[in-house]
Structure formats: C-alpha cells, structure tokens
Amino acid sequence: MRLRNIPEAKEIVANSRFVIHDPEEQRGRWKQELERPLFIEIGTGKGRFLIETAQQHPEADYLGVELYESVLFRACLRMEGVPYNTPRDKIERAEHPELDADFVTPPNLHFLCMDARGLPDVFAPGEVDGIYLNFSDPWPKARHAKRRLTSRQFLHSYEKYLQDGGFIEFKTDNRVLFDFSVDEIKEAPHFELTSVTYDLHHDPVLSAGNIMTEYERKFSALGNRICRLTAVFHIQ
C-alpha cells in the first residue's frame, strides 16, 4: 500500500510530547523508571488499539512503535483529543481542528517512530513484558518472508528484549500469513503457542476483553474471520 504524503505529519510527530525521540538512551533503564509492566505494539498505525488498551489498563505502561510519520501523526493528534475522522486537508492547511471533549488522554502511553528492527538497541534483555502485532503487513512474496513480523528472524529479535514468560499476541484476517506465523512459532525453540483461534469473534473464551483495531473493525464488517494467536517466551 502506497502511503500518502502528509506535509504536516513530520512536524506533528517531531513536536509531539507523546513521542520519545531518543529511545536508545533509555536502554536498560525502562524498568527502573517505569516500575510497571511494559508492553509494546509494533506497527501501531493510528493508535486506536493501543490508546484504548492503555485507557483500560492504567496499571501498565505502553509504547506504540510505528515506522511511518505519515501514519503515526494521527495517533499523536488523537492523544491531544483530535478525532480520528478530522479531514486530512484540514490538518494539511494547519487549521486547528475541533477537539473531542470526552476523550481522556492515557498518561501511560507513548510512541516511538522507528524501524522495529532497531528495537534491540532500545530495550535491554527482559525489559518488555509483551508484544502486540496487529494486522501486520503480510509481505506476500516468498522472497520477503523475513520481513514479516512473525518470521523466525523477528522472533529471534524479540528474544533479545522480551522478559522470560513474556508474550507475543498476533491478530490478522490473512489466513496465509496466520498459518505461516503458526508454523514459524512452532519451530522457534524459545516460544510456546498457548492459544490459537481462526475465528476470534465467535470464540467465547478468547474474545473476552478483545479490543478491536481499525483494520479489525473494517475486515470483520466485511465478514472476514479474525485469527489470533498468543505465544509465550521461555529463556530455557
């Protein structure tokens, strides 16, 4: 998918109080400073899932990792109370949008604008308690398999900063990508599949407490089944 250039996006992200701009300086210090469980979402997009998750769980801290400023700026604006549906042209013209008076900014959520491959330079071993992967890019061509966020290459990367007993939770409507992910995790020596469903919204147990992403709302409305898995990391 080709991303549209948003002239104001870079400035919005650069000036946002919710974006941590030098996260490498925090390596080895996250646990000391936060003193609470830390969960990250890789590919946070506009932030709907993680914002709602942080609102519902004030006892933990959350970091949303997004590569593209042209996407992340929406999450930054939402944290300021700007509705998601604010027209792009209004933002591009730097007009002050109307604010959502009912929105409550979660103080336990921040963002990183970076490539996920660099996360081992941001987190020391054991600093992250859980990783959310929601509707990740499927990279359908076989030669691009290593770019998938559930590939063995990325699983090895997660081992460098996940806490022993930490988890990966992955959701998608792409059955080919999901089957690939299940197979990759089964072959990973330090990960254990603890739950798998091919129809999350009709699973009375696993759907309990489920927070839907934007893509999840869109695809489920089209009748697509949502797949979800959870895998737990064990050092030994």
Active site residues: 137
Distance in angstroms (rounded) separating the CA atoms of residues 107 and 190: 33
Calculate the dihedral angle through the C-alpha atoms of 159, 127, 146, 6, rounding to the nearest 10 degrees: 180
Distance of CA 25 to the CA centre of its chain: 21
Is residue 75 within 8 Å of residue 30, measured between CB atoms? Answer: no
Is residue 185 within 8 Å of residue 148, measured between CB atoms? Answer: no
What is the residue whose two structure tokens read 């336990």?
108
**What distances in angstroms separate CA 51 from CA 68, 144, 218, one per listed residue?**
18, 30, 18
Strands of the 128-134 sheet, one edge to the other: 109-113, 61-66, 38-42, 128-134, 162-172, 227-233, 191-197
